[in-house]
């Protein structure tokens, strides 16, 4: 059965219950889009270097309903990140938000089912912003997630609320018995002057293959502040397409850090829409890939309004047969005068079998702007290695030092200390292993 036919059958069976808040219409439209576009192939410019169509030849089960109890609190315990005692924990299992496993510690944070939000006081927000990412991700995968929106979550931070505990979002896929396709979805709204920290993490249980097609959309209001972290350290039997879409609708500050350490195939879409004057956005990324893994970071910084600042730095280390892809787009629309946009991508290739494809792309329609981008691909600096070795430091330690320093530019941007400590530990272990 071809992929579209399979999903068509699933969509026809799909009964999320009575229509609440007009989500059915959105699903229907999205499914229409999906049937037209299908799974993007390598002819799709945005998917030129990341081939996912072949994955769908494997049988992936799309769970219809949250299967309660498959992931036990014990399972979750093993997956929890350090410092979780002082966090708000939001747990998705196979793409469905689990109220029983999640724990909200901050009283000023509202987390409710999307259906409930769409039917209640947040109806306006949900109607306006759910699916906003589809304007940027024009492919079948984005539509596929929207078509099956169910068990999604709406996160709201009220006016001037500073969410004390960071939000740790765990996307758990239980592939212990079959291959699973999970499609978590969340919508977050940061009201005026609200502050929040968000961490997304992914884990797969079992040895079957998993495919996570996740979307998180975040709307940031006037004077709000968002710190967003995505940490990917999953097994090699996993595939991930993870979209984070941030729209700044008032002058605000956001910072997004994406750390990709492991996983079979990872595609990250990070969109930042600077949709108000005087917005500031910082995008950082670090990827360290080994084995046969594939990492693809696609970022879009869309400058819609004037006087915004964006800064982007992505660094990568590739080893073995891994492949890396970076595509950074900066759009500066005609009204967005006085935009300052910077972008840089640096890659270090450790083995002679890894490869990298990078495409830093600028599209500029305003003249009073300062935009630069740059990218480099190379090896470790031989002079640096020699300098250290001539001072009695072993080659291995020297390499380790140089690579740690290289990574620290990004790691220093992680402001959650417990998270930073954990990521640093992972990277040090990795370096130790790779360089021995």
Partner 1 sequence: MKTELILPKSPEVENELTTIEKTVFSDYKYGFVTEIEADEAPKGLNEDVIRFISARKKEPQWMLDWRLKAYRQWLTMKSPDWANIHYPAINYQDIIYYSAPKQKINPKNLDEIDPELIRTFERLGISLEEQKRLTGVAVDAVIDSVSIGTSFKGQLAELGIIFCSMSEAIQEHPELIREHLGSVVPISDNYFSALNAAVFSDGSFCYIPKGVRCPMELSTYFRINAINTGQFERTLIVAEAGSYVSYLEGCTAPMRDENQLHAAVVELVALENAEIKYSTVQNWYPGDKQGRGGVYNFVTKRGICKGNHSKISWTQVETGSAITWKYPSVILKGDYSTGEFYSVAVTNNYQQADTGTKMMHLGKNTRSRIVSKGISAGFSNNSYRGLVHVSKNASHARNFSQCDSLLLGDKCGAHTFPYIEVRNNTAVVEHEATTSKIGEDQIFYCNQRGIDTETAVALIINGFAKEVMNQLPMEFAVEAQKLLAISLEGSVG
Read off the tokens for 64. Answer: 């219809």
Minimum separation from the CB atom of position 352 to partner 1 (A): 5
Q: Give the residue among 287, 289, 335, 331 at the shortest CA–CA distance from 310.
A: 331
Between 368 and 409, name the residue whose CB sits nearer to partner 1.
Answer: 368
Count interface residues toward partner 1 (CB under 8 A).
35
Between 20 and 321, name the residue whose CB sits nearer to partner 1.
Answer: 321
Which SS3 state, helix, strand or coil, does residue 55 take? helix
Is position 45 an interface residue for partner 1 (rule: CB under 8 A)?
Answer: yes
Between 25 and 379, name the residue whose CB sits nearer to partner 1.
Answer: 379
Q: Which helix (H) or strand (E) holds 349?
A: strand 340-349
Between 10 and 359, name the residue whose CB sits nearer to partner 1.
Answer: 359
Minimum separation from the CB atom of position 252 to partner 1 (A): 25
Is position 187 an interface residue for partner 1 (rule: CB under 8 A)?
Answer: no
Is position 180 an interface residue for partner 1 (rule: CB under 8 A)?
Answer: no
Residue 139 is classified by DSSP as S
Q: Which helix (H) or strand (E) holds 299?
A: strand 294-303
CA 359 to chain centre: 19
Minimum separation from the CB atom of position 248 to partner 1 (A): 22
Measured distance CA(260)–CA(47) in Å, rounded: 19
Between 201 and 347, name the residue whose CB sits nearer to partner 1.
Answer: 347
Between 18 and 382, name the residue whose CB sits nearer to partner 1.
Answer: 382
Query: Do the Cβ atoms of 258 and 295 come closer than 8 Å?
Result: no
Query: Do the Cβ atoms of 140 and 39 come closer than 8 Å?
Result: yes
Measured distance CA(99)–CA(152) in Å, rounded: 11
Minimum separation from the CB atom of position 261 to partner 1 (A): 20
Minimum separation from the CB atom of position 200 to partner 1 (A): 29
Query: Do the Cβ atoms of 136 and 271 come closer than 8 Å?
Result: yes
> For residue 186, what are the β-bridge partners?
153, 216
Among positions 330-389, residues that touch partner 1 (CB under 8 A) are: 332, 334, 337, 347, 349-352, 354-379
Which sign, positive or negative, has the C-alpha torsion 121, 93, 49, 289? positive
Minimum separation from the CB atom of position 350 to partner 1 (A): 7
Minimum separation from the CB atom of position 349 to partner 1 (A): 3
Between 122 and 331, name the residue whose CB sits nearer to partner 1.
Answer: 331
Minimum separation from the CB atom of position 409 to partner 1 (A): 18
**DSSP sequence for 219-245:** EE-TT-EEEEEEEEE--TTEEEEEEEE
Minimum separation from the CB atom of position 44 to partner 1 (A): 11
**DSSP sequence for 382-401:** HHHHHHHHTTT--HHHHHHH
Between 176 and 338, name the residue whose CB sits nearer to partner 1.
Answer: 338
Among positions 294-333, residues that touch partner 1 (CB under 8 A) are: 332
Between 180 and 350, name the residue whose CB sits nearer to partner 1.
Answer: 350
End-to-end CA distance of the chain: give it in Å, rounded. Answer: 47
Residues that bind partner 1 (CB under 8 A): 45, 332, 334, 337, 347, 349-352, 354-379
């Amino acid at each position: 059965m071809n992929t579209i036919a399979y999903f068509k059958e699933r969509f026809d069976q799909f009964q999320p219950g009575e229509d609440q808040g007009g989500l059915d219409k959105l699903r229907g439209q999205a499914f229409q889009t999906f049937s037209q576009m299908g799974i993007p192939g390598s002819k799709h410019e945005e998917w030129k270097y990341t081939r996912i169509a072949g994955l769908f030849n494997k049988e992936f089960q799309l769970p219809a309903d949250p299967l309660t109890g498959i992931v036990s609190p014990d399972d979750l315990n093993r997956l929890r990140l350090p410092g979780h005692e002082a966090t708000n924990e939001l747990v998705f299992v196979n793409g469905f938000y689990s109220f029983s496993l999640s724990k909200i510690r901050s009283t000023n944070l509202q987390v409710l089912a999307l259906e409930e939000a769409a039917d209640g006081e947040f109806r306006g927000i949900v109607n306006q912003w759910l699916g906003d990412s589809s304007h940027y991700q024009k492919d079948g995968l984005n539509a596929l997630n929207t078509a099956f929106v169910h068990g999604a979550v709406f996160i709201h931070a009220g006016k001037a609320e500073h969410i004390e505990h960071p939000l740790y979002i765990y996307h758990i896929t239980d592939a212990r018995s079959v291959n699973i396709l999970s499609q978590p979805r969340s919508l977050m709204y940061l009201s005026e002057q609200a502050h929040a920290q968000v961490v997304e993490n992914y884990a797969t249980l079992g040895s079957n293959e998993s495919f996570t097609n996740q979307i998180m959309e975040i709307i940031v209001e006037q004077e709000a502040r968002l710190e967003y972290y995505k940490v990917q350290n999953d097994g090699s039997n996993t595939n991930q397409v993870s979209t984070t879409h941030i729209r700044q609708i008032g002058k605000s500050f956001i910072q997004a850090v994406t750390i990709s350490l492991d996983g079979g195939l990872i595609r990250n879409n990070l969109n930042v829409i600077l949709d108000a004057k005087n917005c500031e956005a910082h995008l950082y990324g670090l990827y360290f890939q080994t084995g046969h893994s594939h990492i693809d970071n696609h970022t879009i910084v869309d400058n819609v309004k004037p006087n915004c600042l964006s800064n982007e730095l992505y660094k990568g280390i590739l080893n073995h047969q891994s492949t890396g892809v970076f595509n950074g787009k900066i759009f500066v629309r005609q009204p967005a005068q006085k935009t300052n946009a910077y972008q840089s991508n640096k890659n270090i290739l450790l083995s002679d079998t890894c490869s990298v494809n990078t495409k830093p792309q600028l599209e500029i329609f305003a003249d009073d702007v300062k935009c630069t981008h740059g990218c480099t691909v190379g090896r470790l600096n031989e002079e640096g290695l020699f300098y250290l070795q001539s001072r009695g430091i072993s080659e291995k330690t020297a390499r380790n030092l140089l690579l740690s320093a290289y990574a620290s530019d990004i790691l220093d941007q992680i402001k959650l200390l417990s998270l930073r400590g954990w990521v640093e530990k992972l990277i040090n272990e990795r370096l130790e292993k790779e360089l021995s």
